[in-house]
């Protein structure tokens, strides 16, 4: 099976990290890396990798629709609202790395197969990819959970312009994902950009309100979910819990990156780019 041709729109931190992973894949090949800023470090990075680049953003794909089979959108939520109908008209399988929530929400460890039936797949947020699966595992054991809360803490240094522009969309889309994948209506999501030096590794604290927890079953279900995610995000691990006190279950997840474009503390990049590549590879294997 030949490699699928992919285009990446967005030349910031997420786009550049994604590029490294795509080029390492045995199923994918980046044929276009496109954005709007010719002075972007990502553009220079792609050039040095020998990848075809453009400063025309999505227009480059409109001008040459045959340049790719799959499109990754690593821009911003607002930009994806503009890009989505264009890519739909062009018939491109689109993986949206922004919190725009135009397409179906996808977490590979939970609902990969059904998502491949859709043309536009949304990877939610870095916090969504890291924490929602744990909430999902908890809700499988305890569908009686009354409240879920996520606090995602990432290094400020790993948050590029797109991430900073999408703080509101991050909290809203992640909150919606928490409810959608658990069936719990009352949820909250918070993101913290930590300026500490040296930079901190991404940590996600998941809290659930419930009574009479089945701790052995919870630990087993969480361990199963962590194993599934670590298969495509090697730096994903539990560092605290699950612990139960005063009606509240707490679990803390840490995500260490592979160090592809930014240092290993940028697990917030890896969790979403690894998930995106996993989706693209599954689509390619299914349709190749």
Exactly one of 30, 68, 115, 126 is catalytic; name it: 126
Strand partners, 151: 190, 205
- Cα within 13 Å of Cα(284), Cβ side: 23
* Backbone torsions φ then ψ of 8, nearest 5 degrees: -115, 120
Helix ranges restricted to H, 142-241 = 161-165, 167-182, 215-230
* Residues pairing with 161 in the sheet: none
If one counts every other C-beta atom within 10 angstroms of the C-beta of residue 234, the result is 14
Report in angstroms the alpha-carbon separations of 66 from 30, 33, 220.
13, 14, 47
| Whether 30 is catalytic | no
End-to-end CA distance of the chain: 6
Please give the positions annotated as active site.
126
């Amino acid at each position: 099976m030949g490699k699928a041709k992919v285009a990446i729109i967005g030349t910031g931190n997420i786009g550049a990290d994604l590029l490294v992973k795509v080029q390492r894949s045995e199923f994918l090949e980046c044929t276009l890396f496109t954005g709007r800023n010719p002075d972007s470090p990502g553009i220079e990075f792609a050039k040095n990798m020998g990848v075809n680049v453009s400063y025309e953003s999505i227009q480059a794909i409109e001008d040459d629709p045959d340049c790719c089979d799959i499109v990754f959108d690593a821009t911003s939520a607002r930009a994806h609202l503009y890009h989505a109908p264009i890519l739909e008209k062009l018939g491109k399988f689109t993986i949206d790395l922004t919190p725009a929530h135009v397409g179906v929400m996808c977490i590979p460890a939970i609902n990969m197969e059904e998502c491949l039936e859709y043309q536009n797949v949304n990877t939610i947020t870095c916090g969504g990819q890291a924490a929602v699966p744990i909430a999902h595992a908890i809700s499988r054991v305890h569908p009686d959970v009354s409240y879920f809360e996520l606090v995602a803490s990432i290094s400020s240094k790993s948050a590029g312009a797109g991430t900073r522009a999408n703080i509101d969309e991050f909290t809203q889309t992640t909150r919606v994902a928490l409810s959608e994948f658990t069936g719990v209506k009352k949820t909250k999501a918070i993101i913290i950009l930590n300026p500490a030096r040296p930079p901190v590794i991404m940590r996600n604290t998941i809290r659930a309100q419930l009574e009479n927890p089945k701790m052995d079953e919870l630990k087993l279900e969480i361990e199963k979910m962590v194993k599934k995610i670590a298969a495509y995000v090697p730096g994903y691990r539990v560092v605290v819990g699950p612990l139960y006190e005063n009606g509240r279950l707490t679990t803390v997840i840490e995500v260490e990156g592979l160090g592809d474009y930014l240092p290993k503390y940028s697990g917030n990049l890896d969790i979403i780019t690894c998930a995106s590549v996993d989706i693209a590879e599954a689509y390619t294997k299914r349709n190749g």
